[in-house]
Structure formats: structure tokens, C-alpha cells
A and B are shown apart, each in its own frame.
Chain A
Amino acid sequence: MQNSLIKQEKKLGYIFSFPIVFLVFIIIGLPSIYTFIISFTNKRIGYSYHFVGVDNYLRIFKDPTYWLVLRNTFIYTVSCIVLKLVLGFAFAMLLNEKFKGRGFVRVSMLVPWAIPGMVAAHTWRWMYNDQYGIINVILKNIGFIDSPILWLSDRNIALISVIIVNIWRGIPFFLFSILGGLQTIDTQLYDAAKVDGANVVKRFLNVTVPSIAPVLTITTLLSTIWTFNDFDNIWLITGGGPLNASSVISTYTYSTAFISNQMGRALAVSISIIPILVILLIIANKMIGSNESDR
């Protein structure tokens, strides 16, 4: 009886895991290997292709556009993450206080995350419009600017424009993750710190931050991976333009593959960032793994 259960357990384990294994190793795994192989060819859609060795890699590394795009990706990721973290933290502290109307503020602040990303992108693109866009009108009416800001077509501003939208959409993720962490902090810790004479700043640094450190790390890591690979936001707002000024790895890969029709080269761009991604993934795996064994 007991024996047959154990036997069944093993068999069922394999049956139930099979679809997952198939997904991970065939549906995800095969294309990944394929990516790697094609990156050494001169594949274009509709043409036959042959191996060109490391030619694609040499070309992209010699191409100043590639380095510009890489630089943009880092600026985009770092500034988005820092600002989302700081603002998300600030609003989480706010919503952790008890006050009238908190429920309304809470729901309102969730909305940017709830609407689809491409809807957010289109809406902001419309607000950024240099002729009819509301943002320039407001800035002009309060006397902030004289001539309209070219949010989407100024090479020095386009990247900032897409960063703002990513922050707008991403704050709720930080806010609600951090808020969840704040609510688990034992209030006795604060009382004890008060008795010890710790002021607000000290209480924040010695009680609040350490208590939610695991939540902060995981939220930041997850968001870093998503932001680093963000496509919709940039593609739909600036298309990476003007002249690649707001182009990041994901949009550059897309336009190289589907607009310039250089698949092999695009895949080489994709592969070139895998080391960064793998490092992030390994850290994330370690952080979340160790976090779980604590319990």
C-alpha cells in the first residue's frame, strides 16, 4: 500500500513535470541554441545563408552605434531603477501612514501598473506631441518654458522622455512591494529604538531599511532585468530615434532584424548582452534562494 504510493509518486512526478521540461528545454531551449548558431551566419529573411564565423560580432563591436545603444541601455536602466526605487520607497512610506483617503490614494497609484504598457506608451506619446501635446501647454502656461520642448525629436531629450514614462509605469511595482515589506515590520522595534533615543533618520536607517532589505533587493533585481530589456515603451514612444538617440539593445535588435533585415547581426547583438543578463539572473537566483531558506 505505502509502497505503491511511493511508486505512484515517482511516476506522477515525471508525468506532471514533463510539460514543464518540454517547455523549458524544447520551446525555450531550442530557440536559444538556434539564436547562438544563427549569430555566426549572415541570415536574412528570404535569402539562403552561410556561416561567417565571428564576423557579425566584429562588425557590431566596431560599430559606434552599438556602443551608443549599449550606453543608452545603461543610462536607461540605471536612472529608471534609481528613481523608481527612491520614489516608490517614498510613496510606500506615505501609504504606510494612516490617514483619511488612503484607500483612494492607494488605488490611484496602482493604476499606471494596471493599464497595459503599450496604452501608457501611446498616451504619453500623445501628451509629448510638440504641437498639440498637453505637457508643453502646461509648462508654457505656468511660465516654465517659452518655446515647446521637442520631447521626441530632440536628440538630447528623447531618452529622458522614455525614462519618465518607464518611471511613471514602474513606481507602483516598487511601491506595493515595499509597502508589503513595511507592513510586516514589528512596531515594537520602533518603540525600542525610540526608548534608546533614536531620531527619525536613525530609526529609518537602523530599523526600516534592514527590515525590508530582502524585499528591496529582490524588487530591484526583478525590475532591473525587466527595465534592461524593456521594448514596448521605447519602441512605441520614440522608435529608438532620433538617430538612435533613445535606442536600447531590445529596440536596436528589433530594427536590425526586421527593418534592416540582418538577422545574424541582430542575434549577435542579442547574444552580446547575455553575460550581463546571466550575472543578473545568478544574483537573483541566489538572493531569492537564500531568502527562502531563511524561513
Chain B
Amino acid sequence: MIKSNKKNQNIKVILIYIISIIGVLWSLFPIYWMIKSSFTPDAEMYQLNPKLVPSHFTLDHYKDLFTETIFMKNFVNSIYVSVFSTLIALFFSITGSYAMTRLRYKGRLFIKNSIFFSYLLPASVLFIPMYIMISRVGLGNNKNALLIVYQTFIIPYCCYMLMSYFTAIPKAMEEAAFVDGCNHIQALVKIILPIALPSIAVVATFAFTLSWNEYLYALVLTTSPSQQTVTIGISNFKYSDTFIWGLIMSSSVIASLPAVILYMLAQKFLKTGLAAGSVKQ
């Protein structure tokens, strides 16, 4: 009995490792291939029988990327758009979420519901009218238009997350502050913000990556390379139908770095699921 139990245990451990290896290979192989390709010389890359491990190593693709293309400009644009759209979203989401979770006024529930609907309203429905509207107000082909348009998904996302965090903070602490003569703004700044700071940091991380990864709006709203972000910059590395894979792969590696680093930093907060706020535990 005990012996067979131990045997079962061994089989289980072996199974766990087999599935783990499959999972890791499946998840990481494309990443490996992207990084590998970015360091492989063209001559070897365009061989009919590519090898899993490169026999030559080159930095040419990166050198070309930084000296011969305007990818650095795209990168700076991405940083600009992501940082500022996140900051704008955070400001309005913090005040908005505070109002919707702590203040009593008419129409609160209605606003809450409308945020939820806009959180799930996809860009694929809105991109054409956005394009027309943005051209009308004279912001066509201007990266600053993205700062406004990205709010359509970042603010609903941030509000959604922050409202659930704010609800979890006990009201007693603010009530004590009110007795001491604090008003609501002071309560928000002195009580709520310090407690919610770690959650706000996580929300900011995800807001940043949402904006960093955005493709469709950037595709229709910016047309000249000097206004474009990395997501579009990478797709520009082709002559008509011929893709310049060396540049595409090296720029992909660079474009992945900020998001991956932020995700890894936020990883330990992901225990309750990627949807943390929406699927709150």
C-alpha cells in the first residue's frame, strides 16, 4: 500500500516535470528565436536550413537600428506617450475612483456602470470615428492625439482597478480624520493615497504597458515616422513585401524590454490573477 503510494508519487513528479518542460519550451521558444535572430548575421539568417544555435554572432542589426533608422525616435515617442498618458489617467482615475467609492451624490451608480462598459468597448469599433474626429480637431498625424485617445481605455481600466482597491480600505480611518477637522481632499491625500500606494503602483505599471503595446490607434492616427511609436516603427521595416527580419527582430527585442521589466517587477503582485481588479479575490 505504502509502496504503491510512493510509486504513484514518483509518477506524479515525473509528469509534473514533463508538463513543466513542455510549458516552458512552448512559452520561451519564440522569445529565444526572436533574440537569436536579432544576433544572427543576414547570411546565416537566410539559409534554407537555419540552425537552432547560431554559429556566428553579430551586433550589426542593432548597429543599423540605432544609426540608420529612426527607431530611437520612435522609442522616445513611445516613452513620451506611455508616461504622459499614464500620468494623466492616474490623476483622473484616482480622483474619479475616490468620488465613486467614497462620496455620495446623484448618478454615481450610473457613472460606475458606464465606466465598465467603456472598459470593454473595443478599439476595433472606435478607431474609424476616432480617426475622423481627431483629424477634425486638427490633431491628425500628431503623437499628442494618442495621449487623448489612449484615455478611452486606460482611464476605465485604472478606475476599475482602483475602485476595488479603494473599497477595501476601511472607512473608519477617514472618519477619524474628519473628526480631527480634515476635509475630503485632505482625507484622500493623507489617508487613502498612502495606503493605496502599492496598488496604485501596480495599476500604473499595467496602464503603462497598455499604452506601450497599443497598435491600432497608433496605426491610424500617426502617419509620419517622426510621430510614430515603436509598435508602428517595427512594422515599417520592410520594402513593399520584403521584410527586413534582422531589423524587425532587434527592434522587437528593444521594444519588449520596458514592458517585460515592468511585468517582472509587478509579478509578485499577480498572485490574485492578471485581472486582479476585475477578478478580485
Chain A positions near chain B (C-beta within 8 angstroms): 5, 8-10, 12-14, 16-17, 19-21, 23-25, 27-28, 30-32, 34-35, 38, 90-91, 94, 97, 99, 101, 104-105, 107-120, 122-127, 131-132, 134, 137, 168, 171-173, 176-181, 183-184, 214-215, 218-219, 222, 225-226, 228-229, 231-232, 236, 249-250, 253-254, 257-258, 263, 266-267, 270, 273-274, 277, 280-281, 284-285, 288
Contacts and interface: CB of A to CB of B under 8 A. Distances in A.
Contact of A126 (B37, B98, B133, B270): B37
A72 to B, nearest CB: 14
Nearest to B127: A254
Contacts of B248: 122, 126
Contact of A17 (B30, B50, B99): B99
7 contacts: A13-B99, A27-B148, A27-B151, A35-B129, A109-B27, A173-B275, A219-B273
B50 A132 contact: yes
Given A23-B155, A126-B33, A253-B124, A118 B274 contact: no
Contacts of A16: 95-96, 98-99, 103
B128 A9 contact: no
Interface in B90-104: 92, 95-96, 98-100, 103-104
A258 B115 contact: no
A122 B234 contact: yes
Given A12-B184, A34-B132, A127 B212 contact: no
A113 B118 CA distance: 23
A270 B128 contact: yes
B231 A111 contact: no
Bin chain B's interface residue count: 35 or more
Contacts of B270: 110, 176, 180
B195 interface: no
B249 A126 contact: yes
Contact of A134 (B50, B116, B178, B279): B50
Given A99-B13, A110-B270, A127-B30, 18 more contacts: A5-B184, A14-B105, A17-B100, A20-B155, A23-B151, A24-B156, A27-B149, A109-B23, A118-B213, A119-B234, A123-B252, A168-B27, A176-B273, A180-B270, A218-B275, A222-B275, A257-B128, A274-B125
B159 interface: yes
A126 B26 CA distance: 16
Nearest to B30: A123
Given A17-B111, A20-B115, A120-B30, A180 B273 contact: yes
Given A12-B99, A19-B92, A218-B279, A115 B31 contact: yes
Interface in B12-67: 13, 16-17, 19-20, 23-24, 26-28, 30-31, 33-34, 37, 45-50, 52
Main secondary structure of the interface of A (DSSP, over half): helix
Contact of A113 (B37, B46, B92, B274): B274
A16 B115 CA distance: 14
A9 B105 contact: yes
B281 interface: yes
B123 A229 contact: yes
Contacts of B23: 91, 94, 105, 108-109
Interface of B: 13, 16-17, 19-20, 23-24, 26-28, 30-31, 33-34, 37, 45-50, 52, 92, 95-96, 98-100, 103-105, 107-108, 111, 113-118, 120-130, 132-133, 148-149, 151-152, 155-156, 159, 178, 183-185, 209, 212-213, 215-216, 220, 231, 234-235, 243, 245, 248-249, 252, 255-256, 259-260, 263-264, 267, 270-276, 278-279, 281
Q: Which 7 residue pairs are nearest across A and B when measured between Cβ atoms?
A: A180-B273, A31-B129, A13-B105, A16-B99, A229-B122, A250-B124, A114-B263
Given A24-B115, A119-B255, A109 B24 contact: yes
